[in-house]
Amino acid sequence: MADSNDSIKKVVRAVAVTDYLGHRDYLGEVYRRIKAALPAYSYLKFAEDLGFSATNVLRLIIVGDRTLTTKAASRIAKGLHLHGADLRYWTALVKYGEARRPAERERLFQLLVSLKTKAKPEALTPTQAAYFSDWYHPVIREMVGLPDFVGDPLWIQNRLAFPLRLDEIRRSLDLLERLGVITRAAETGYYVNSAVVATSPETDSMALVRYHQKMIEIGGESITRIDADRRQIQAVTVNLPPAAANTLRAKIQALTQEALALEADAATQPSDQAEVFQMNIQLFPFTSKRGRNP
């Protein structure tokens, strides 16, 4: 077999650890790339190359059947030749994946965002990250499009169904203006839409995670805060084969596009009855053939 150590170095250079939010996903991709280059490569050899005994320990870690200790994570980092920023990110990534307390996971997630931003500042700008870090920035941006919108923080506060401080509203308006998605009309103090927030795949993998976390939390709160006739929350647990699950995911994507099309159509005939809605659709498996994920 060719020198697997050389293959590991080449793969690690090609597969950036900072592109991952799961240490098991990263390890799995590294292994798949090495095996693609060396067909005879095995999990036993992978374990040996990373400083373990010739066992299935790496496979068990990758599929989620075994936790990854700090000591083992350090051994893997050495075997993968991770240094500097990559090593710091890897260490935080392992801790994030193995953490169970929500407060600890939140702290580690913010650390990952910070490390990612430093490693790839062109991929995840602080301004973009700030836009998706709080639930109310996209909401206020949509409120700007209401026919009766008034660019006054107190007016915005009174119209929101969820509590928000005036200083948070002011900071949000400032952020939206800096992003270019709204523009102040000097004569009236109103804000108007002027652009969209562009994101890269790296932004999707970090900032949007935080955005969806917040929106799911708000969705749960809406059950008791919003009247039933003004919301639609349903849940169903189903047993689906992969093909049917893929079909359902495609339908959800199509429904999301339909919602955007409805908004575009409505914009041609503005109504003073318009309101800002949040549509959350959740579909995820409770089981896995590959094992547990972090």
For 165-213, how does the pLDDT look when each residue is reduced to its tens digit (9 = 90+)? Answer: 999 999 999 988 888 888 887 766 777 765 556 555 454 566 667 777 7
Q: What is the pLDDT of residues 42-99, one digit of tens each?
A: 999 999 999 999 889 999 999 888 999 989 999 999 999 999 999 999 999 999 888 8
| Of 122 and 263, more confident | 263
Among the listed residues 81, 80, 85, the one whose alpha carbon sits nearest the alpha carbon of residue 112: 85
Residue 128 has pLDDT above 80, yes or no: no
Q: Three-state SS for 262?
A: helix
Q: What is the pLDDT of residues 219-275, one digit of tens each?
A: 888 888 888 888 888 888 888 888 998 999 899 889 988 988 898 888 788 788 888
pLDDT of residue 199: 54
pLDDT of residue 165: 93
| Residue 276's pLDDT band (cuts 50, 70, 90) | confident
| Of 7 and 91, more confident | 91
* String of DSSP letters for the chain: ---HHHHHHHHHHHS-GGG-S-HHHHHHHHHHHHHHH-TT--HHHHHHHTTS-SSSHHHHHHTTSS---HHHHHHHHHHTT--HHHHHHHHHHHHHHH--SHHHHHHHHHHHHHHHHHH-TTTS-HHHHHHHHSTHHHHHHHHTTSTT----HHHHHHH-SS---HHHHHHHHHHHHHHTSEEEETTTTEEEE-------HHHHHHHHHHHHHHHHHHHHHHHHHS-GGG-----------HHHHHHHHHHHHHHHHHHHHHHHHHHTS--TT------------S--SS----
pTM: 0.59
pLDDT of residue 92: 93
Query: Which amino acid belongs to residue 221?
Result: E
Cα(151)–Cα(159) distance, integer angstroms = 12
CATH class of the domain whose range is 4-99: mainly alpha
Among all chains, which residue has been given the structure tokens 């994507």?
253
What are the beta bridge partners of residue 182? 193
Q: What is the pLDDT of residues 96-121, one digit of tens each?
A: 888 888 678 878 887 887 888 777 76
Residue 192 is inside which H or E element, if any? Answer: strand 190-193
Domain boundaries along the sequence of the chain? 4-99
Cα(117)–Cα(133) distance, integer angstroms = 14
